[in-house]
Amino acid sequence: MSIESTPGVLGIYSHMDTLIDAIKHFKSRGRDDIKVHSPCPHHDLDHALDEPVSPVRRFTLLGGLTGCSFGYLFTSFGSLEWILPTSGKPIVSPVAFTVVAFELTILFGALFTLLGIVLNAKLFTKRKTLYDDRFTDDKFGIFIPCTRSEYEAMTKELTDHGAEEVKHA
């Protein structure tokens, strides 16, 4: 089990429809800080959570543009640094260099996307909230950050909205 340092209450659910009803309830109460666990992503959950579009796309765009520019500049620089005349072809040949630029667009796009996922999804960081091993199997969960004095009220609220088990730190 992980290190828990964020105080809060974790409700565990077996059914997607109950979970979605609970999410809608907490969202209607203005709780945008809830953390929902599910064995796999699902469109119904996305709709219920109504989160903004991930900024990972900006990383991909930036990576692609960087790779493309680097591809053309690097090949042109290398060709001008060491002149290799072949069959009267231009030393700086943009059409031939497009192949390298294309490959580097994809490569840098992928590397920046990876960076975008790692930074935004906060991979490589220790989990600070309560967790249950069954979330990767067949259970769902809602973690609600709250102070210790609110534990009892939150536990009741989660149970009233379908949670089968409730844990707190």
Partner 1 sequence: MDVKQHEINFRYDEITKDILRTLEKPGLPYWIMIALIMGGLAFGIVAWMYQIKEGMGVAGLNHPVGWGVYITDFVFWVGIGHAGTLISAILFLFRAKWRNAIFRSAEAMTIFAVLTAALFPLIHVGRVWVAWWLIPYPNQRELWVNFRSPLLWDVFAINTYFSVSAIFFCIGLIPDVAAIRDKARGMRKTIYTFMSLGFDNSNHQWRHYMAGYGFFAALATPLVLSVHSVVSWDFAVSIVPGWHSTLFAPYFVAGAVFSGMAMVMTILIPFRSIFKLEKYLTTWHFDMMSRLVMLTGSIVTYSYLTEYFIAWYSDDPFEMFIFYERAFGKYQLPFMLMFGCNCVIPLLLWFRGIRTNLKALWVITIFVNIGMWFERFNIIVSSLAQEFDPYSWGWYVPSWVEMGITLGSFCWFFMWFFLFIKFFPSLALTEMKEIADPPHSGKGHSAHGKEAA
- Which of 5, 75, 68, 19 has its CA nearest to residue 47? 19
Place of tokens 């260099």: 97
Which structure tokens are listed for 109? Answer: 């796009």
Q: How far apart are CA 145 and CA 38, in angstroms?
A: 18
Q: How far is the CB of 149 from partner 1 (least distance, A)?
A: 25
Please say which residue, 54 or 152, places its beta carbon nearer to partner 1: 54
Per the CB < 8 A criterion, the answer to whether 107 and 66 are in contact is no
Decide: is 106 part of the binding site for partner 1 (CB under 8 A).
yes
Given candidates 3, 28, 30, 124, which one binds partner 1 under the rule CB under 8 A?
124
Please say which residue, 103 or 152, places its beta carbon nearer to partner 1: 103
Q: How far is the CB of 39 from partner 1 (least distance, A)?
A: 5
33-63: b (≥16 Cβ within 10 Å) or e: ebebbbeeeeeebeebeeeeeeebeebbebb
Q: How far apart are CA 57 and CA 99, in angstroms?
A: 24
Decide: is 113 part of the binding site for partner 1 (CB under 8 A).
yes
Decide: is 86 part of the binding site for partner 1 (CB under 8 A).
yes
Given candidates 47, 89, 148, 156, which one binds partner 1 under the rule CB under 8 A?
89
Q: Residues interacting with partner 1, by CB under 8 A?
A: 2, 14-18, 35-42, 44-46, 49, 51, 53-54, 56-57, 60, 64, 74-75, 78-79, 81-82, 84, 86, 89, 93, 96-97, 99-100, 102-104, 106-107, 109-111, 113-114, 116-118, 120-127, 131, 133-138, 143, 162
